[in-house]
Amino acid sequence: MKNFKIAALAGDGIGPEVMREAIKILRATEKKFGFTLQITEAPVGWAGIDAAGKALPDTTLALCKQSDAILFGSVGLPDRDPTIPKEERPERAALLRIRKEFGLFANLRPVTLPKALAHACPLAKERQGDGIDILVVRELTGGMYFGQPKKTEDIGGGNQRAIDTMVYTTPEIERIAHVAFKSAQLRRKKLTSIDKANVLENGILWREVVTRVGKNYPDVTLEHMFVDNGAMQLVLRPTQFDVMLCENMFGDILSDEAAALGGSLGMLPSASLGLPRQSAATAGAGEENFFGFYEPAGGTAPDIAGKNLANPIAQILSSALMLRHSFGLNEAAAAIENAVTKAINAGNRTGDIFNPIETTAKRVGTTQMGDAIAAGI
Ligand code: IPM
Ligand code: MG
């Protein structure tokens, strides 16, 4: 029987409670589809600082290295201990560090608005067309997040200067462009590449390289769009988009915007992938598999943490992406996605997607939503 090793890092805020539901669902698929998952939990984020004095404890990092995939919750509590240096805070010392350490350059964020949640989308019904279905492909290890120099310095007179550097090389753009074109080939074959080529050197290079890579994918329609227009088009006519390719920072911003169109940030899963590798379980089978990092895009939501209010769907859908991209378990991944749709169609709503105008819907907590989804596997 196939066996896969998962490092489960729940982190802070709502992380632990949504992770618990995702593990519940994974256990249900394990039984049904005949594979085994060796799930090991470890602290990260403020939980790591509390347990071992570091946002990414050495033992947690070692566990990640021995695993086939990382299932991540979320980290960062803005109000905790402002005296800790920014380099040691969870966002940089755990999340960005893992992305860089494992070379996870490709971040996939699929946004879909289920028919039953049309009311949760902030756009008028006529703008939703036949449904919103967008894949944001975000470059994750370059650009302004990591470019050097990155610092704040004194410039005299009590003033400071803050510097972040946006930098991309041809190979960095090429590899993420290939991921985006391949993703588009499996979907509606349209790729919108986002840049700011009217102002930024980075934008000019981005556009050139993406255009060149596109010659290898004649079946995909490529268009370029400035990021400001892209932000506007998302709310004016979101149905024009299939795959949106973005550099790191633009992707961060536009994926949150797109998530709101999908009903709630609590519904947005993500997969962060490095270069393909053959996992032990599929070696020789000729299948491409990725060491991956899977996390909900929504954050720790400290205001609702520990209250059984959080929507676990983003975490659960992230675990489905893990089964698909890292383990090649397509059937089990689809079963999870279908079970989520079924639970929504049956009227289960956490607070973020609940609207009293839906008279047949019932407001449920994190655990009940997890139970409803597990029952549908
Ligand atoms: C995300 C988050 C992170 C990012 C933060 C928490 C560092 O917003 O994954 O989108 O900016 O990448
Ligand atoms: Mg973000």
286 CA from centroid of ligand 2 (Å): 34
Q: Is the pLDDT of residue 77 over 90?
A: yes
> Per the domain annotation, does 270 fall within a domain?
yes
pLDDT at 44 over 60: yes
Q: Mean pLDDT over residues 101-121, rounded?
A: 93
Span 110-128, average pLDDT: 92
**Does the C-beta of 76 come closer than 6 Å to ligand 1?**
yes
The verdict on 88 and 75 lying in the same domain is yes
Residue 127 falls inside a structural domain: yes
Question: What is the mean predicted confidence (pLDDT) over 261-268?
Answer: 92
pLDDT at 228 over 70: yes
Same domain, 24 and 63: yes
In-domain check, residue 25: yes
Q: What is the pLDDT of residues 27-38, one digit of tens each?
A: 999 989 999 999
Instruction: Identify the residue whose C-alpha is closest to ligand 1 atom 4.
Output: 252
| pLDDT(137) > 90 | yes
The answer on 126 and 165 residing in a single domain is yes
Do 10 and 80 sit in the same domain of this protein?
Answer: yes
* pLDDT at 286 exceeding the cut of 70: no
- 113 found inside a domain: no
Residue 280: what pLDDT? 46
Q: Answer yes or no: do 173 and 251 share one domain.
A: yes
Looking from the CA of residue 92, the nearest atom of ligand 1 is 7
Q: Which ligand is nearest to the CA of 74?
A: 1
Average pLDDT over residues 233-250: 98
pTM of the model as a whole: 0.93
The closest ligand to the CA of 300 turns out to be 1
Both 126 and 257 in one domain: the answer is yes
281 in the same domain as 253: no
Number of domains in the chain: 2
**pLDDT bracket for residue 6 (50, 70, 90):** very high
Kindly report which listed range (12-21, 176-185, 290-299) carries the lowest average pLDDT score. 290-299
Do 297 and 226 lie in one domain? The reply is: no
Question: Could you tell me the CA-to-CA distances from 220 to 182, 191, 217, 243 in Å, in that order?
Answer: 9, 7, 6, 10
Residue 117 is assigned to a structural domain of this protein: no
Check residue 285 and give its pLDDT.
45
pLDDT > 70: percent of the chain: 97
Q: Is the Cβ atom of 91 under 6 angstroms away from ligand 1?
A: yes
Read off the pLDDT of each residue in 251-269 and give the average, rounded to a whole number. Answer: 94
Residue 3 forms part of a structural domain: yes
DSSP string, 204-262: HHHHHHHHHHHTT-TTSEEEEEEHHHHHHHHHH-GGG-SEEEE-HHHHHHHHHHHHHHT
Ligand 1 pocket test, pick from 91, 98, 295 with the greatest ligand atom count within 8 Å of Cβ, gives 91
The alpha carbon of 251 is separated from its chain's Cα centroid by a whole number of angstroms, namely 11
| Residue 284: pLDDT over 80 | no
256: left (phi over 0), alpha (psi -120 to 50) or beta: alpha
Indicate which residue's Cα is closest to atom 11 of ligand 1. 252
CATH number reported for the structural domain that contains residue 102 in this entry: 3.40.718.10
Looking at 261, 286, 308, the residue that finishes a domain is 261
Q: What is the pLDDT of residues 194-227, one digit of tens each?
A: 999 999 999 999 999 999 999 999 999 999 999 9
**Closest ligand 1 atom to Cα of 295:** 9
Q: What pLDDT score was predicted for residue 82?
A: 87
Q: Is residue 194 part of a domain?
A: yes
Determine if ligand 1 sits within 6 Å of the CB of residue 95. Answer: yes
pLDDT band at 130 (very low <50, low <70, confident <90, very high): confident
Query: CA angle at residue 119 from 118 to 120, to 5 degrees?
Result: 90
Q: Is the domain of 257 the same as that of 362?
A: no
Write down which residue in 229, 261, 293 finishes a domain: 261
Residue-level pLDDT at 199? 98
pLDDT at residue number 277: 64
Atom index in ligand 1 nearest the CA of residue 248 equals: 12
213 token code pair? 């890579």
Measured in angstroms, how far is the CA atom of residue 73 from the centroid of ligand 2? 14
Give pLDDT tens digits for 147-160: 999 999 999 999 99
pLDDT on residue 283: 44
Tell me which of 12, 54, 145, 168 is the catalytic residue.
145
Which of 243, 261, 279 corresponds to the end of one domain?
261
What is the reported pLDDT for 275? 79
In this structure, the answer to whether residues 102 and 226 fall within a common structural domain is: no
Residue 116 is assigned to a structural domain of this protein: no
Q: Which domain holds residue 229?
A: 122-261
Residues 348 and 249 in one domain: no
pLDDT of residue 288: 64
Q: Does 252 sit in the ligand 1 pocket, CB within 6 Å?
A: yes
Helix extents (H) in the chain: 15-33, 46-52, 58-66, 90, 97-101, 125-128, 170-185, 201-214, 227-236, 248-261, 313-325, 330-345, 366-375
Residue found by looking up tokens 């909900």 in the block: 296
Across all residues in the chain, what is the average pLDDT? 94
Spacing, Cα 144 to ligand 1 middle (Å): 13
Q: Which one from 50, 151, 228, 362 is the annotated catalytic residue?
A: 228
Residue 58 known to be catalytic:
no
> Which residues have C-beta under 5 Å from ligand 2, the single-atom ion?
252
pLDDT tens digit sequence for 320-374: 999 999 999 999 999 999 999 999 999 999 999 999 888 999 999 999 999 999 9
Same domain, 147 and 212: yes
